[in-house]
Chains A and B, each alone.
Chain A
Amino acid sequence: MATSKVEGSSSLRHAFGGVLSVFILLLIGVVAFSIRLFSVIKYESVIHEFDPYFNYRVTQFLSKNGIYDFWNWFDDRTWYPLGRVIGGTVYPGLTLTAGTMWKLANSLNIPLSVETVCVFTAPIFSAFAAWATYLLTKEVKGPGAGITAAAILAMVPSYISRSVAGSYDNEAVAIFALIFTFYLYIKTLNTGSLFYATLNSFAYFYMVCSWGGYTFIINLIPMHVLLCIVTGRYSSRLYIAYAPLVVLGTLLAALVPVVGFNAVMTSEHFGSFLVFIIIHVVALVYYIKGILTPRLFKVATTLVLTVGIAVCAVVVAILVALVASSPTKGWSGRSLSLLDPTYASKYIPIIASVSEHQPPTWPSYFMDINVLAFLVPAGIVACFLPLSDASSFAVLYLVTSVYFSGVMVRLMLVLAPAACIMSGIALSEAFGVLTRSMKFHITKYFECSHTEAPAKLGESTSTESSAPLENMTKSDTTEKPEVARKEKVARRKQKKEKELTENAHVKPVSAKKEKRPLVLPLEASIVSVFLLIVLGGLYVLHCVWAAAEAYSAPSIVLTSHSHDGLHVFDDFREAYAWLRHNTEVDDKVASWWDYGYQTTAMANRTVIVDNNTWNNTHIATVGTAMSSPEKAAWEIFNSLDVKYVLVVFGGLVGYPSDDINKFLWMVRIGGGVFPHIKEADYLKDGQYRVDAQATHTMLNCLMYKLSYYRFVETDGKGFDRVRRYEIGKKHFKLTHFEEVFTTHHWMVRIYKLKPQKNRIRGKSRKSKLGSKSTSSKSGGMTHKNPWN
């Protein structure tokens, strides 16, 4: 009776297992979503940081004006007086996704605000990304590894840092798109189905829409194809997986306005075309090999090789000449800094000035991927047992992303899924081996007891205990990738049959020992399982801590814990709200570019420069103004129609990322375009300081004055809590600017340019009578004004 029960349950086991894994995946989705809500619970449902504000503003525009106006949107509220063509310079994936979600909710009469949808887009897509990881890892190494990888990805801190609720940035959807594209590529590779190949192109299209990081895909997949060809793994499946992707994918990518002809013109894409050619040559070679006799084939090879090498040399020479003729060698600055980590700091200060473009430090690896760093090598080993097309892709993905993460801390995000997949494989394999050996030992124990027990009782126990053993053997085989290739299946079957025949002849216990070389001692496996669980627990603890403490702060509102409880610093929004309500709609606000997106989105005022750093000269102009003396700065700002100047000052409350700390970059960027600004003038003995020993230029520049205006009156000494010393110049007056607003903690200070008549005071009446244009022109003609 017992046997039949086991039989019945084993037939149910599949259905049950399916339901269980669906349920687990659902829970993983819930975890991925809810671990990212710490920011909403601890702070509020608000858009975070800088770039998300821009995306939010674009989404608002999209939801208000519709898709066609969005494509044609010329934004005149930023980069004054140049403006910016938003529709053509923005990756629209995120905006369109959130806009669609909003529209869908509203068409069902669910009154969600655009802001709410934007805030929760990232957590929703994290759940999707976890599911996509499951699919990808399942293709690589089976569903067990898939579920483990999905669970790990759901809470990997590196990904959390970019996808907490409110972090409405491109990466939020792009990581999902990245993983999903890889999944479809592997799926096509495993099945050879044209259907999946087409889907893959669409996933790639979505990725191109979402993030500039799509170049990673279009370089990684060709690399893998090349690897497969070189290692002799070429197959028609590989061709189907790659050729449609290049053709369809490139066509689709060219549809995205921001990419356009870049999809065929820049060298980031050349690799894929080269491999496209190679794969066709290889396909041709395989075809010819099939129809020719081996001898004839050898002759043909030598003939083709001699001609081919000559032609290739010519083509390569032309290509190199073409590429070399362009100033950046066809590569964009950000991509070049990927290949050569020192490129940015040498040539492009504006890229180097962003902290997320710096190379990461070792602690940040531990912070961002934690124990995965130790599991990854094990995962690589597991991928080589046995090496399939899919697992070689996983290894390649990991290796390249490790390199890129070493270049730019921001690309740690690309490493995270790879690390999760590898760790998932490692953990799942380890658990597989350990539990299998535990089960085996337990079975053995039962078998032993059965020989001592009376026969009739022993019979039933043996049947009962042997059933799970059999199940286990089977589960062992199912864990292997479910590749639908017939030869593989057949091979497996043969192997199994062999095992079974062996079984029949030898006594069961010894047979099993021979069959499984991977059996570990019972104690060791119990301890290891325990240790693995502890490791996993530590990882979860770390992730929760990281999500709750490290990555949830929205950065527009700061909190500090003091003895009398929580203290909230909401100065940024105070300033933006003031600007929004108490200045004219068309007033221009100048600030360092960091605050550009926030100013346009929250204060709804026109800014001179913003975080889309597309025009270095314009940014350099603002940098120059900030580092010039008051009068020269006034002239620059006045020529730009600026009415208000906004500076961020942390000296009163000790907010370290204020403008004084960023000031050196303003000098550098300004000096890069306008040579009269020299970095050396601002440094005393090679040191950057604003205390009594600071240089005269430093103490008289606009940024210093706007930051420290009347600061000494707060404590009588002018002690700066960020720099931890007293400031150099304490008492001074502003002649060309007037303070109009300072926030509660002095973190944002807004100044107004004094009207023009102050400037021409004291001049002769005659010059006053001269036309206004000449007077302003003569002001602009001075060599210090870079704007003319």
Chain B
Amino acid sequence: MICFRLQQIFSYHEREREGFRAFAVSLSIDSNSTFTPIDHRSDGMDRRLQFAFVLLCLGLLSSTARSDLVVSKAERLVDLNSHIVRVLSKLKVENEGPDDVSEVLLALPDAQAKNLAAIRTFYSDGKLGFVLPTEPIEPKGMPSDVTYYSIALPKKLGKGKTVSLDVLSIFTRSLKPFPEEITQAESQLVVYTDNMYYTSPYPVKYQSLVFRLPGRVESYTKYPKVELVKSELRYGPFEMQPAFSYSPVVVHFENNNPFAVANELVREIEISHWGNVRVTEQYTISHGGASLKNGFSRIEYQARPYMRGASSFRVLIAKLPARAHSVYYRDEIGNISTSHLWGDSQRTQLEIEPRFPIFGGWKTTFTIGYSLPLHDFLFEADGGKRVLNMTFGCPLDEVLVEKHIVKVVLPEGSKDITVATLFPTKQSEDVKYSHLDILGRPVVVLEKDNVVPEHNLYFQVYYKFNNISLLSEPMMLIVGIFLLFVACIVYMHTDLAISKTSSSYLEKLQWEEVQATVQHIKNIFDQYLAAHDKLESSLRDLSRSGDVQSCKAARKAADAQFKELAKELKPLLTFLQSCSQASSILPKIEELVTKEKEMQEKEMAKHTTVVDCFEKKLGGKDIESRIASQQQKLTSLKQEVESLLDSISEI
């Protein structure tokens, strides 16, 4: 079943200028092939078991079958420019035996094999290139201080046929600084040791070895067939060497390229379904070359930085994905201001300078963080799953990562998590609690040692996630705040008194009652005032329309209302008089009542005057002069009543 089809242009390290070929590889991954890393290990085990079984059964036959292979041509190109050594072996393998062969063995001396970071075999049949599975095996009956790798050929190699294979092996820590301690002014010299002949379990008919060097060569193993052309050291060609030929070759040369080693890198990829992928990378970087002795002199470094301090490095370049934003660069004591960021639609480039230039043996730590748009990295997969597709390795140029930990933090509530990588990694699971989580976010932890830039391949994380769970945290906040308000309301409305009979409690109850009464009284007075207003407005209507009857009717209604209100007011007043606590307000209220009475009288008087005048058809000026004094009294009374009401409501 094909889970995922990935069309990938994959070039190892863009070193075309140095003559390395870029391979366009179309990988079709299928769950049964050894390349499906989900159950990679068990598959590998199966293979190994099968292989042992075959060995047991066929014994001698298989070994003869292997020895029938001959390497007709082996050209090795060793790139020593950086501290990561890349060996590209172009092999032509010929089957001279009678039987078809389905696998080719590679051999590496143990000394080299322990430094091997990656091995990859490229096979090309005309148009398309493939990466062939290359697996370590332990065949019997072979020299033991050699590590073997088997390449499974895509189709069996018949008698007399040849196949071209390009094997790229990447070694770390193979350049030994010599001397091991240098001063600031000195250049860094390193030693590289290798086998002059191609180490192979098969005889090699024709071979050559080329070292590509970054600079001056101090010394190298002298041999008749050697020439040094500019920055290339060529050994060979050698013809007809038997299997496992060995002759050491040592090159001692100057290499001032940055020996940047990340002792540990923790990449945390946090997915938010609100549209963001946040990447945080914590580096511990050190200089893996010759260590510095006699201290560091700034004056020498500043005066002649390329001579005094050539072995150090001060800039690292990180290639981040396109549309990376919110980039930061800091360490545990704050922001580091020496960084530059460029970006276009293809990629973002971050140039970072550690706080100080890194000399041999020096170390520093820092953190890079950036955010990426979710839709560039998260896709829908079959079966309602989602798939995150991100690069595995470290974005820094030419950095060896000794311990690489990738943590993928999936949103809370993700289920059925599976991971697909192109190379074996140690996987574990973890939980991370972040912003208001309850269950925690599932974390997939991938660990791999010795990660080189060639490991910067895509890996996939499949998981199931329901969009509804996105809303859980906002809902939680809303409910929380709602409950807070509810709690406030409940607190305000419940009686939390412990003793219901204590005097202070009773007093409080009575006081509340008084307050309610006062409020009631206030309402009544408001109605009084409204009635007054009605009367006033009826007078105004009268002046406009001259309708005396309606004015009289209004007065009658007002009279009735005044009576009713007075009736209503009476029991309230008697209650207040009986209450001890109301003593402070009572005089005010009584004053209010008298004032209102007075106002009522005045109003009535005014009303009668105006209506009379109208009935007598007197002029407007006349009326005004008649009621002027009443009017003034009324206004002042009204103000007093209002201010009294206000002062009552203050209680």
B334 and A455: CB pair below 8 A?
A: no
Least Cβ distance of A599 to chain B in Å? 11
* Min distance, Cβ A745 to any Cβ of chain B, angstroms: 9
Contact of A455 among B530, B631, B645 (CB under 8 A): B631
The chain A residue sitting closest to B365, CB to CB, is A581
**Residues of B near any A CB (own CB < 8 A):** 294-299, 302-303, 331, 333-338, 355-356, 361-365, 433-438, 526, 529-530, 533, 536-537, 539-540, 543, 584, 588, 591, 620, 623-624, 627-628, 631-632, 635-640, 642-647, 649-650
- Given A1-B537, A570-B336, A582-B363: A474 touches B643 (CB 8 Å cut-off): yes
On whether the beta carbons of A578 and B646 are closer than 8 Å, the reply is: no
Number of interface residues of A (CB under 8 A): 61
Are B298 and A743 closer than 8 Å at their CB atoms?
Answer: yes
Q: Which residues of B contact A744 (CB under 8 A)?
A: 298, 356
Q: Which of A147-155, A179-187, A500-508 contacts its partner?
A: A500-508
Assuming A474-B643, A710-B297, what are 17 further A-B pairs, CB within 8 angstroms? A7-B642, A7-B645, A11-B649, A44-B335, A110-B435, A454-B624, A455-B623, A455-B627, A470-B639, A493-B588, A504-B637, A576-B333, A577-B331, A602-B333, A739-B295, A742-B299, A744-B356
A574 at the interface (CB under 8 A from B): yes
Given A10-B646, A574-B355; A739-B296 close (CB under 8 Å): yes
Given contacts A1-B537, A459-B631, A578-B356, contact A573 B333 (CB under 8 A): yes
Select one of A14, A44, A489, A581 contacting B362, CB under 8 A: A581
Chain A residues with Cβ below 8 Å from B434 are: 109, 111
Residues of A within 8 A of B588 (CB): 493
Bound complex: CA A470 to CA B637 (Å) = 12
**Chain A residues at the B interface, C-beta cutoff of 8 Å:** 1, 3-4, 7, 10-11, 14, 44, 46, 108-111, 454-456, 459, 462-463, 466-467, 470-471, 473-474, 478, 489-490, 493, 496-497, 500, 503-504, 507-508, 556-557, 568, 570, 573-574, 576-578, 580-582, 602, 710, 713-714, 738-744, 746, 752
Contacts of B438 in A (CB 8 A): 109
- By a CB distance below 8 angstroms, the chain B residues around A570 are 336-338, 355
A109: chain B residues within 8 A (beta carbon): 433-438
Residue numbers in A under 8 Å from B356 (CB-CB): 574, 577-578, 741, 743-744
**A500 CB contacts on chain B under 8 angstroms:** 640, 643-644
Q: How far is the CB of B255 from chain A (nearest CB, A)?
A: 22
B642 with A504: CB separation less than 8 A = no
Smallest beta-carbon distance B554→chain A, Å: 14
State which of A14, A504, A577, A710 has its C-beta within 8 Å of the C-beta of B636: A504
| Cα–Cα, bound, A14→B651 (Å) | 12
By secondary structure, the B interface counts as helix
Q: Among B294, B334, B627, B643, which residue has its beta carbon within 8 angstroms of that of A573?
A: B334
Contacts of A746 in B (CB 8 A): 298
Please name all residues of chain A whose beta carbon is closer than 8 Å to the beta carbon of B533 when the two chains form the complex.
1, 3-4
Q: Is the CB of B642 within 8 A of A467?
A: yes
Chain B nearest CB, measured from A312 CB (Å):
42
Q: How many Å lie between the Cα of A562 and that of B650 in the bound state?
A: 63
Which residues of chain A come closer than 8 Å to B338, judged between CB atoms? 570
Please determine whether B337 and A4 come into contact, CB atoms closer than 8 angstroms.
no
Identify the 6 closest CB pairs spanning chains A and B, nearest first.
A742-B298, A740-B295, A46-B334, A44-B335, A581-B363, A574-B355
Contacts of B363 in A (CB 8 A): 581-582
Q: List 29 A-B contacts (CB under 8 A).
A: A3-B533, A7-B642, A10-B646, A108-B436, A109-B433, A109-B436, A110-B435, A455-B628, A456-B540, A459-B536, A462-B635, A463-B635, A503-B640, A504-B640, A574-B356, A577-B331, A577-B356, A578-B362, A581-B362, A581-B364, A582-B362, A738-B294, A739-B295, A739-B297, A739-B298, A740-B296, A741-B295, A741-B298, A743-B298
How far is B302's CA from A467's CA once the two chains are assembled, in angstroms? 80
CA of A463 to CA of B303 in the docked complex: distance in angstroms?
88
Shortest distance from the beta carbon of B113 to any chain A beta carbon, whole Å: 32
Distance, CA A467 to CA B529, complexed state (A) = 14
| Given known contacts A111-B434, A470-B643, A738-B295, A4 and B335 CB-to-CB distance under 8 angstroms | no
Measured in the bound complex, the distance between the Cα atoms of B537 and A126 in whole Å is 56
Given contacts A11-B649, A474-B647, A557-B334, contact A455 B297 (CB under 8 A): no
Q: Which partner residue on chain B sits nearest A8 by CB separation?
A: B526
Docked complex Cα distance between A500 and B537 (Å): 27
Whether A557 lies near B635 (C-beta < 8 A) is: no
B334 touches which of A44, A110, A466, A743 (Cβ 8 Å): A44
Instruction: Report A166 CB to chain B, min CB distance, Å.
Output: 10
The binding surface of chain A is classed by DSSP as: helix
Query: Across the interface, do B526 and A456 meet the contact criterion of CB distance under 8 Å?
Result: no
Q: Which residues of A contact B631 (CB under 8 A)?
A: 455, 459
A516 CB to closest chain B CB, in angstroms? 15
Within the complex, the shortest CB–CB distance from A543 to chain B, in Å, comes to 27
Q: Are B336 and A4 in contact (CB-based, < 8 A)?
A: no
| A-side contacts of B302, CB under 8 Å | 714
Known contacts A474-B647, A570-B355, A742-B296: A111-B640 contact under CB 8 Å: no
Report yes or no: A752 in contact with B295, Cβ–Cβ below 8 A.
yes
Complex contact A7–B643 (CB within 8 A): no
* Contact between chains at B337 and A741 (CB < 8 Å): no
A578 near B355: Cβ-Cβ < 8 Å: yes
Residue of B nearest to A110 (CB): B435
Would you call A568 and B337 a contact (CB within 8 A)?
yes
Given contacts A7-B645, A109-B433, contact A46 B297 (CB under 8 A): no
Residue of B nearest to A710 (CB): B299
CB distance from B640 to the nearest CB of A (A): 6
Chain A residue at minimal CB-CB distance from B540:
A456
Q: Which of B533, B627, B639, B649 has the most CB of A within 10 A?
A: B639
Cβ contacts under 8 Å, A752 to chain B: 295
A557 close to B624 (CB less than 8 A): no
Chain A positions within 8 Å of B294 at CB level: 738
Q: Write out the residue numbers on chain B whose beta carbons fall within 8 Å of the beta carbon of A557.
A: 334, 337
Q: How far is the CA of A283 from the CA of B296 in the complex (A)?
A: 75
The residue in chain B whose Cβ has the minimal distance to the Cβ of A569 is B337
The closest CB in chain A to the CB of B436 belongs to A109
Residues of A within 8 A of B636 (CB): 503-504, 508
B256 to chain A, nearest CB (A): 20
Q: For the complex, what is the distance from the CA of A503 to the CA of B639, rounded to whole Å?
A: 10
In the complex the two chains form, is B335's CB within 8 Å of A46's CB? yes
With both beta carbons as reference points, the residue of chain A lying nearest to B366 in the complex is identified as A577
Q: Which of B540, B636, B637 has the most CB of A within 10 A?
A: B636
B536 cross-chain contacts in A, Cβ below 8 A: 459
- Is A4 in contact with B526, judged by CB distance below 8 angstroms? yes
Query: Among the interface residues A503, A578, A581, which one has the most CB atoms of the partner chain B within 10 A?
Result: A581
Q: A577 touching B364 by the CB < 8 A rule?
A: yes
Q: Which residues of A contact B437 (CB under 8 A)?
A: 109
Q: Does A713 lie within 8 Å of B640, measured CB to CB? A: no
Please report the C-alpha to C-alpha distance between residue A496 and residue B528 in the assembled complex, in whole angstroms.
24
Nearest-CB residue, chain B, relative to A601? B333
> Are B297 and A742 in contact, CB atoms less than 8 angstroms apart?
yes
CB–CB A466/B639 < 8 A? yes
- Distance A456 CA – B639 CA, assembled complex (angstroms): 18
Chain B residues whose C-beta falls within 8 Å of the C-beta of A470 in the assembled complex: 639, 642-643, 646
Does A463 contact B364, Cβ atoms closer than 8 Å?
no
Residue of B nearest to A113 (CB): B332
A-side contacts of B540, CB under 8 Å: 456
B635 touches A7 (CB 8 A): no
Task: Tell me the bound Cα distance from A715 to B650 in angstroms.
Answer: 80
Chain A contacts of B433 at CB under 8 A? 109, 111
- Expressed in whole angstroms, the Cα–Cα distance for A46 and B337 within the complex equals 13
The residue in chain A whose Cβ has the minimal distance to the Cβ of B357 is: A744
Measured CA separation A493–B363 after assembly (Å): 79
Task: Report the minimal beta-carbon distance from B551 to chain A, rounded to whole angstroms.
Answer: 13
Residues from chain B with a CB closer than 8 A to the CB of A10 are 646, 649
- Cα–Cα distance between A195 and B639 once the two chains are bound (Å): 41
Shortest beta-carbon distance, B641 to chain A, in Å? 10
Query: In the assembled complex, which residues on chain A have CB atoms less than 8 Å from the CB atom of B530?
Result: 4
CA distance in complex: A473, B642 (Å): 12
- Inter-chain CA distance A3–B529, complex, in Å, is 8
Query: What's the Cα separation between A714 and B540 when bound, in Å?
Result: 97
